[in-house]
Amino acid sequence: MYLLIDAGNTRLKYACHDGSQWLSQHAVALDAPGLALPDGFAPARIVIANVAGPGVATHLERLLTDIHASREWLMASAMRCGLRNDYEHPASLGADRWAAAIGAWHLLRSNALVVCAGTATTIDIVQDTGNFAGGSILPGLELMLDALTHNTAGLPRSRGNYVMPPRNTHDAIASGCLLAQAGAIQLMAMQLPPSTPILVAGGNGARLLPHLGSAARLQSDLVLQGLLAIAMDRSETDDKAWRA
């Protein structure tokens, strides 16, 4: 059995898997007082992707105190689960991006554009040669909206909707920020063959999906899928990352 934990900038996502199927998946606040695990669930391995900082890591350690299982705090590496990391400095890649790329490779074994639309939006390329080729990071949708509110004198916090063409300021802001996100994704997609799948995860994924064309699909658990692949395959694991 496996416990997979994705600590992002805004939420804590975690899931339980018995080796053949998901038993549960949850998304809670980063400071959640506990983990809701199925009755009798006793994981053999725990894999954690934490990009929320040391405070959250300490909180997770407290939550996991009574669970006696091997743990890995995921760090990107040169290769994992059959996927090579072409980053100039592989270890500098965020654990969540690495897990999402591994999840995409595990699910498709083909070219893929991996979009995680959360606090930040990351847009990464996985090639059918088994390479993570790199990608882009831009402010997430809410950060874009906040930037316009806090750094201009006359623009309000948008309560608008996506409309083409926008005919009021609120709709202009909402539409412009969505177009910026979608345009960046589409430009990255042009680096891959036409009709390459676009896997979209993250809290804003559902808002972006209608603007990304027929190749895009929502894959909300993409990071968890990658963590599961890692938990189930230790063949390329640096054993120093694990502890009893």
* Per-residue pLDDT reduced to its tens digit, 107-141: 999 999 999 999 999 999 999 999 999 999 999 99
Structure tokens at 194: 């036409």
Of the ranges 29-38, 53-62, 226-235, which one carries the lowest mean pLDDT score? 226-235
Distance of CA 45 to the CA centre of its chain: 20
Whole-angstrom distance, CA of residue 70 vs CA of residue 243:
5
Query: Known binder of ligand: residue 161?
Result: no
pLDDT of res. 235? 57
Query: What is the C-alpha R_g of the chain?
Result: 19
Query: Known binder of ligand: residue 11?
Result: yes
Distance of CA 25 to the CA centre of its chain: 15
Query: Known binder of ligand: residue 10?
Result: yes
Whole-angstrom distance, CA of residue 139 vs CA of residue 121:
6
Query: Known binder of ligand: residue 122?
Result: no
Place of tokens 């007082």: 33
Residue 209, phi-psi category: left (phi > 0), alpha (psi -120 to 50), beta (remainder): alpha
φ and ψ at 120, to 5 degrees? -110, 160
3-state secondary structure the chain: CEEEEEECCCEEEEEEECCCCEEEEEEEECCCCCCCCCCCCCCCEEEEEECCCHHHHHHHHHHCCCCCCEEEECCCCCEECCEEECCCCHHHCCHHHHHHHHHHHHHHCCCEEEEEECCEEEEEEEECCCEEEEEEEEECHHHHHHHHHHCCCCCCCCCCCCCCCCCCHHHHHHHHHHHHHHHHHHHHHCCCCCCCCEEEECCCHHHHHHHCCCCEEECCCHHHHHHHHHHHCCCCCCHHHEEC
Which domains are assigned to the chain?
A: 2-76+225-243 (3.30.420), 110-221 (3.30.420.40)
The residues that are catalytic are 96
Query: Known binder of ligand: residue 7?
Result: yes
Query: Known binder of ligand: residue 87?
Result: yes
Please name which of 41, 57, 82 lies closest in space to residue 5, comparing C-alpha atoms.
57
Do residues 70 and 90 make contact, with C-beta atoms less than 8 angstroms apart? no
| Per-residue pLDDT reduced to its tens digit, 73-112 | 999 999 999 999 999 999 999 999 999 999 999 999 999 9
| Per-residue pLDDT reduced to its tens digit, 43-65 | 999 999 999 999 999 999 999 99
Whole-angstrom distance, CA of residue 131 vs CA of residue 96:
17
Q: Is the pLDDT of residue 195 over 50?
A: yes
Query: Known binder of ligand: residue 55?
Result: no
Q: What is the amino acid identity at position 68? A: H
Query: Known binder of ligand: residue 42?
Result: no
| Per-residue pLDDT reduced to its tens digit, 144-190 | 988 888 888 777 787 889 999 999 999 999 999 999 999 999 999 99
Q: Is the dihedral of CA 211, 213, 218, 224 positive or negative?
A: negative
